[in-house]
Chains A and B, each alone.
Chain A
Amino acid sequence: MLRIENVSAGYGSIRVLHQINLHVNEGEIVCLIGSNGVGKTTTLKTISGLLRPEEGRIYFRNRDISRTPPHKIVEMGISHVPEGRNVFPRLTVRENLELGAYARKDKAEIKRDYAMVMQTFPQLALREKQSAGTLSGGEQQMLAIGRALMSRPRLLLLDEPSMGLAPLFVLGIFEIINEINRQGTTILLVEQNAQLALRTAHRGYVMETGRIVLDDSTEALLKNSRVRKAYLGE
């Protein structure tokens, strides 16, 4: 479904990604793990069009999206939940969710998805008219994920959904990520919490300083001594 071929990208003269290759098949949860600052977020930003690859190609459903602007990529079916739950703080919960469906025109279906998101995240239903900035961190994460679902993505890019959340909340969020996947959405998950990511995903990539150094099924990665040492704290 998604194929990244030899992509290099960065910010100005600083190159962050060095010729990475990665693919995601339909229906999968794929995780991308690695320590802070190795280029995981940059990878997602390059996929969603916030950054342009300096070289290499990105294909989504066999179409080259390497030069496509972000708003067009959303229309094609990729939704990116950015790091740090970037909700619009001065818009209400409802307005945030409505913006998630900005690219869509099927009003009746949007309404249904809205009801579905409210069902998935009952806490949000209680705060519909509140501005998003007043929500707790966990609620903002739910809102960010719910908002991404409002575009009805084929592929969901999740950047550090566990960041800064209480452990109990983290489990709840990952439960929901699994549920979203079961309902047919493909997921590319970036996560520092390698343990959790590897137990959730089907396949995983390990990134170090802008390069993919390992890729395998998550069972294999969980047994890999290098991964166990570097990321699972053994």
Chain B
Amino acid sequence: MFIQQLVNGLILGSTYALIALGYTMVYGIIELINFAHGEIYMFGAFAGLLLVTVLKVPFFLAFFLAMALAALLGMTVEFLAYRPLRHSTRLAALISAIGASIFLQNLALLIMGAQPYTFPSPVEAKVYQTPFFTISRLEIIILIFSFLLMIALTLFIQRTKIGKAMRAVAQDKDTASLMGININQIITVTFAIGSALGAASGVMVGIYFRTVTFSMGLMPGLKGFVAAVLGGIGNIPGAMMGGILLGITETIGAAYISSQYRDAVAFALLIMVLLLKPTGLLGRPVQEKV
């Protein structure tokens, strides 16, 4: 039973981790909580759904196309809602983010309506039985995809020139621009990658729970944010760890306390971490700049 919950938590957590990465990357670069990120996740799910059901695109291709489309949307949101406010107060950008979130959600409501859509399953519902837990073929695929994406991101950040530039911009924007790095370009890339990962999560969760709705981004968006803060916002390995920890805590809380309290457990965990270690699990202590 316990191991089963761990496995379930790991699956849920890996989808949270993908969302959390988008929050943490954007925060790391421009210190903004991108509250429209949950809607990017929702958009990804819809994009995947429409590609598969209306345009009859094969699942595998639709998955990556949905990521690409979400990347475009993320770049557009940054360009229209955040870039003009780059030199204003942080609160202004935050309010704009909330506005973008409300706008995108209502746009989805307007276009797709309020009814839930059913995502057809891409794989046959085969379940594997081990002595300690059961896992479905779909769950295995979700785990593999999530971890491959996280590994790919880590390699990209660590090994490529753009990844190095992203880390430099996160540490010191002015000095980074003196290296010849185009800051706006790096911010655009960051939004694109974060949004693509969020969309990947959206598509997989849409398939997993078989439903896609205009409001599906709200709760996972918040959970992804919680996961990013848990791990230490701005910290990429932290977001992965925070997501998985949150998923496991939530599943175990739901199993042993009450499934009614699923979300309460998640947010209680956030409050606890913030009380005990305000910078998050892997966060660095904040240094006041003089």
Q: What is the interface of chain A, defined by CB distance below 8 A to chain B?
A: 48-50, 69-71, 74-75, 79-80, 82, 86, 88-91, 95, 98-100, 102-103, 147, 151
Chain A residues closer than 8 Å to B175, beta-carbon distance: 82, 86, 88
A48 touches B178 (CB 8 A): yes
Whole-angstrom distance between the alpha carbons of A120 and B179 in the complex? Answer: 20
Residue of B nearest to A132 (CB): B171
A102 touches B177 (CB 8 A): no
Q: A91-B164, A102-B161, A102-B165 are in contact. Are A71 and B171 (CB under 8 A)?
A: no
Whole-angstrom distance between the alpha carbons of A99 and B183 in the complex? Answer: 13
B172 touches A88 (CB 8 A): yes
Q: A50-B174, A102-B161 are in contact. Are A151 and B167 (CB under 8 A)?
A: no
Chain B residues closer than 8 Å to A71, beta-carbon distance: 177, 179-183
Which one, B161, B171, B179, B180, contacts A89 given CB within 8 A? B171
Residue of B nearest to A99 (CB): B179
Chain A residues closer than 8 Å to B197, beta-carbon distance: none
Sample (26) of A-B pairs whose CB atoms are under 8 Å apart: A49-B177, A50-B174, A70-B174, A71-B180, A71-B182, A74-B178, A74-B180, A79-B178, A82-B178, A86-B174, A86-B175, A88-B172, A88-B175, A90-B171, A91-B167, A91-B168, A95-B167, A98-B161, A98-B164, A99-B168, A99-B181, A102-B161, A102-B180, A147-B179, A151-B179, A151-B180
Residue of B nearest to A89 (CB): B171
From B165, B167, B176, B180, name the one whose CB has the most chain A CB atoms within 10 angstroms: B180
Given contacts A48-B178, A102-B161, 12 further A-B contacts (CB under 8 A): A50-B174, A69-B182, A74-B179, A74-B180, A86-B174, A86-B175, A91-B164, A99-B176, A99-B181, A100-B179, A103-B179, A103-B180
Residue of A nearest to B167 (CB): A91
Chain A residues closer than 8 Å to B167, beta-carbon distance: 88, 90-91, 95
Which one, B171, B174, B179, contacts A102 given CB within 8 A? B179
B261 to chain A, nearest CB (A): 39
Whole-angstrom distance between the alpha carbons of A48 and B175 in the complex? Answer: 11
Chain A residues closer than 8 Å to B179, beta-carbon distance: 71, 74, 99-100, 102-103, 147, 151
B164 touches A50 (CB 8 A): no
Chain A proximity mask over B181-206: 1 for CB below 8 Å, otherwise 0: 11100000000000000000000000
